[in-house]
A and B are shown apart, each in its own frame.
Chain A
């Protein structure tokens, strides 16, 4: 039985368990020296955290037990994120697998796909990337041009993806490709699980304004994907891609962002302590509001109320909160954390762009939530 309300006594018990575990499992360096870690050390801490999550049974909280999950619902998942946020836990490296690939395979994948992929997502032994965007297809995702041509036993993929986060570390890719030239725009795409470690996959990292190379251009030349790795019906990949995107904008993603925002606002409060004019406490209030927005959406989800479209609100809310926090961090002029804030300020510029730009979220809200006709 999963918990459906936050005031359930079982929720309090679960919270206590999580909190105890998180405090014990946290990588030491992360706990003591977070702001001073180099990008490599951050990655190391993230990988350690992946392993800890798996060992502790926290990697797939809301996944069915038969696939190595705990079979919990969104409430337990959120409690976990809240407690890990309180403890300033890092974000795992295997996140695209856990948040995007896993849940998509669970709802839309075949039995064989679940058996093959889910365990390695849970222990983060296989990193995933999301091959949706292309040079010509960003906001207008349905215009992807990468093709998946039917051949004996599978598909040959040709084309170019871009902005693909973690592609250089990824073993697998969620691939959205055009499998037909005849059918209509939203009915000619197929959703494939592509093995990145084969000939014909050329990953070229792109340097970002924050100085890192987290995303890449990826070129595919006659890359084979077996029939078994098609998710959902052939040519009906658009619907699957939408499932991925709704997870990307969902409560789990928002909760991981809450972790990030909380940690940053804690630090910000210290950096701003010397300034009267800087309003870090107000950001703390907004962070609390985000927490309640997630709680509310999660309870509605657990009660199977209409929560789906709430994702766009969450996405706008967390991205703008973190952007405002990091901007204030720069304004604080705190000499000790000067480089930290400059880096995170620049990095946060991407948040209103990825997972669907904030303009697109606002379009979704007027078009599909408010149903305001054009």
Chain B
């Protein structure tokens, strides 16, 4: 596997981006509408067809664009499940979410009504979740029955890389918004992008997210070190977003502008991976 994305990855990422970009809805709720467009377009099953030769690196590309949008769909876990497990077209179209160990619990992030929950071996879990954490702000996280087999280390390392790529997408979204804001917002009779302090924040936000992206790619290449890469990468993506909030001033602190969704998403992803334990 190369650090460079293949054509299939670029193509999938740009289509997924276009679809999510047309989205609307609440960031805190699963977006069934967007998922149906993605899945009708076949984007959820590209990784299961060997002819496509989709590699993990390509999935990272899609994961990254998905992080740009505060909508919850099971695209990332579906692509990974399609790569790992024998699942049929119809199952992939419903969307797949994965069983992960979080402390003493087993949870499935990106859960929503209608998706298929699989255990650590790709076996379908028929029973319903015992509870759903609506609060999570990213997406509901389903609590699965205790004793459910969670994802093994081998798969977990790929998931870490992919979730970190989502975090980088979050940083992308905030940096774009920050650049746009620094161009329109004026203080002292000039756009704030003219102030060196602001320019350096933007540069540092870029440096941090690029390093986070490198960490995601490194995690994909070095599964045995993926936990360390994820720890470092998530912290860098968070730094990038924090700088973006700072550039926004008071506006960045409002719920309405919503930069916290990205911060929350990073915290949540990191927490379901157990990286904050």
Interface residues of A (CB under 8 A from B): 133, 136, 138-140, 143, 162-163, 206-211, 327, 330-333, 335, 338, 342, 345-346, 349-350, 352-354, 357-359, 362-363
Contact A333 B271 (CB under 8 A): yes
Question: Which B-chain residue is minimally distant from A213 (CB atoms)?
Answer: B255
Contact B253 A363 (CB under 8 A): no
Name, among B187, B188, B235, the residue most crowded by chain A CB atoms within 10 Å (CB to CB): B187
State the Cβ distance, B261 to closest chain A Cβ, in Å: 9
Cβ-based interface call for B51 (8 A):
no
Q: What residues of A have a CB within 8 angstroms of the CB of B253 in the complex?
A: 208-209, 349-350, 353
State the Cβ distance, B161 to closest chain A Cβ, in Å: 20
Question: Which A-chain residue is minimally distant from B241 (CB atoms)?
Answer: A349
Name, among B186, B189, B235, B254, the residue most crowded by chain A CB atoms within 10 Å (CB to CB): B254
Contact A209 B276 (CB under 8 A): no
Size bracket, chain B contacts? 20 to 34
Contact B254 A349 (CB under 8 A): no
Contact B250 A211 (CB under 8 A): no
Contact B250 A330 (CB under 8 A): no
Contact A333 B277 (CB under 8 A): yes
Contact A138 B250 (CB under 8 A): yes
Contact B187 A209 (CB under 8 A): no
Contact B103 A330 (CB under 8 A): no
Interface residues of B (CB under 8 A from A): 103, 186-189, 195, 197-198, 235, 238, 242, 245-246, 249-250, 252-256, 259-260, 263-264, 267, 271, 276-277
In the assembly, what is the distance between CA of A211 and CA of B188, in Å?
Answer: 31
In the assembly, what is the distance between CA of A211 and CA of B246, in Å?
Answer: 18
Q: What residues of A have a CB within 8 angstroms of the CB of B235 in the complex?
A: 331
In the assembly, what is the distance between CA of A162 and CA of B251, in Å?
Answer: 10
State the Cβ distance, B243 to closest chain A Cβ, in Å: 10
> What 18 additional pairs, Cβ within 8 angstroms, besides A163-B250, A208-B253?
A133-B250, A136-B186, A139-B188, A140-B189, A208-B254, A209-B253, A209-B263, A331-B276, A332-B276, A342-B264, A346-B260, A349-B245, A349-B246, A352-B246, A353-B252, A354-B250, A357-B249, A363-B197
Contact A140 B276 (CB under 8 A): no
Contact A211 B255 (CB under 8 A): yes
Q: What residues of B have a CB within 8 angstroms of the CB of A211 in the complex?
A: 255
